[in-house]
């Protein structure tokens, strides 16, 4: 049976053994949705880096640079953290170096802990990802990026949606209270996820920055089939 554990914040990651697990990093608004979109739009790879300076160093090697802090694109970078920055051929055939406030930090943090795979989670590829996890059959850790180490609603909601989908497809062991709570939360919100999230802190933060279209895009359900995961240190189609 596949065990499903939800880590509600990166600050809690040290309490979970991710060794040999498939870890799904979740930053629904917007980093992991944007990574999935970049790969779907033909980017060869997305490297999650810690600092803007790390990203700029990779420019010399031909990478497109992408940087966000507190919801804003940083000046001097090719791209921000919007899925729309990855469209219209902008990233096709390119390698991208991306740094964001929370999501890319989680990818880096978990990569060194011996996971079987590190995958990028999004509503955009939810059903395909659930199917892939079931086929692979290993235990699953769903790592919510949250906001600056705090819990958030949108990542937890997605963790619940993914756990539900995996559970529908295969026998699972779910005795982690975080997973049970995330699934219940998804049950409350699944009728209208956008409406449910309107009260959330990051929804309000991104609304103030006029990123409503980004949120609408990121909350689409299962419109991509791509599975995106770490291969030799870079997020790629797997």
101 binds ligand 3SL (CB under 6 A): yes
β-bridge partners, 79: 66
Provide the minimum distance between the beta carbon of 22 and ligand 3SL in the complex, in angstroms, as a whole number: 21
71 binds ligand 3SL (CB under 6 A): yes
DSSP letters of the chain? -EEEEEE-SGGGGGGS--TT-EEEEE-TTTHHHHHHHHHHTT-SEEEE-SSHHHHHHHHTTT-EEEEEETTEEPTT-SB-S-GGGGTTTTSTT-EEEEE-SSHHHHHHHHHTT--SEEEEE-GGGHHHHHHHHHHH---EEEEE-TBTTB--HHHHHHHHHHHHHHHHHS-EE---HHHHHHHHHHHHHTT-HHHHHTTSHHHHHHHHTT-HHHHHHHT--S-----EEEETTEEEE-
β-bridge partners, 31: none
Select the residue interacting with ligand 3SL from 31, 67, 91, 193 (CB under 6 A).
31
Select the residue interacting with ligand 3SL from 81, 120, 152, 165 (CB under 6 A).
81
Among 86-94, 101-109, 150-158, 170-178, the segment contacting ligand 3SL (CB under 6 A): 101-109
- Which of residues 90 and 170 has its CB atom nearest to ligand 3SL in the complex? 90
Provide the minimum distance between the beta carbon of 2 and ligand 3SL in the complex, in angstroms, as a whole number: 27
102 binds ligand 3SL (CB under 6 A): yes
Q: Which of residues 149-188 bind ligand 3SL (CB under 6 A)?
A: none
Provide the minimum distance between the beta carbon of 229 and ligand 3SL in the complex, in angstroms, as a whole number: 17
Binding residue count for ligand 3SL, defined by CB under 6 A: 13
**Distance in angstroms (rounded) separating the CA atoms of residues 160 and 100:** 24
Provide the minimum distance between the beta carbon of 128 and ligand 3SL in the complex, in angstroms, as a whole number: 21
Select the residue interacting with ligand 3SL from 5, 30, 118, 129 (CB under 6 A).
30
- Which of residues 103 and 229 has its CB atom nearest to ligand 3SL in the complex? 103
Contact set with ligand 3SL (CB under 6 A): 27, 29-31, 68, 71, 81, 100-103, 145, 206
């Amino acid at each position: 049976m596949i065990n499903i554990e939800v880590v509600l914040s990166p600050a809690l990651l040290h309490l979970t053994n991710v060794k040999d697990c498939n870890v799904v990093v979740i930053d629904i608004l917007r980093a992991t949705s944007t990574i999935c979109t970049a790969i779907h739009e033909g980017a060869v790879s997305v490297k999650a880096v810690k600092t803007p300076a790390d990203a700029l160093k990779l420019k010399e090697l031909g990478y497109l640079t992408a940087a966000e802090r507190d919801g804003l694109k940083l000046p001097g970078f090719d791209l921000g953290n919007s899925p729309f920055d990855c469209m219209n051929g902008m990233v096709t055939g390119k390698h991208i170096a991306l740094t964001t406030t929370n999501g890319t930090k989680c990818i880096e943090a978990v990569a060194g802990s011996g996971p079987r795979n590190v995958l990028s989670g999004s509503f955009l590829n939810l059903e395909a990802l659930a199917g892939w996890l079931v086929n692979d059959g290993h235990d699953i850790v769903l790592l919510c990026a949250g906001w600056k180490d705090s819990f958030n609603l949108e990542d937890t909601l997605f963790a619940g949606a993914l756990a539900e989908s995996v559970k529908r497809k295969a026998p699972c062991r779910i005795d982690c209270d975080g997973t049970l709570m995330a699934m219940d939360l998804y049950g409350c919100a699944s009728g209208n996820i956008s409406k449910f999230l309107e009260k959330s802190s990051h929804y309000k933060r991104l609304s103030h920055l006029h990123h409503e279209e980004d949120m609408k895009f990121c909350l689409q359900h299962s419109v991509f089939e791509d599975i995106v995961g770490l291969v030799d240190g870079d997020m790629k189609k797997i």
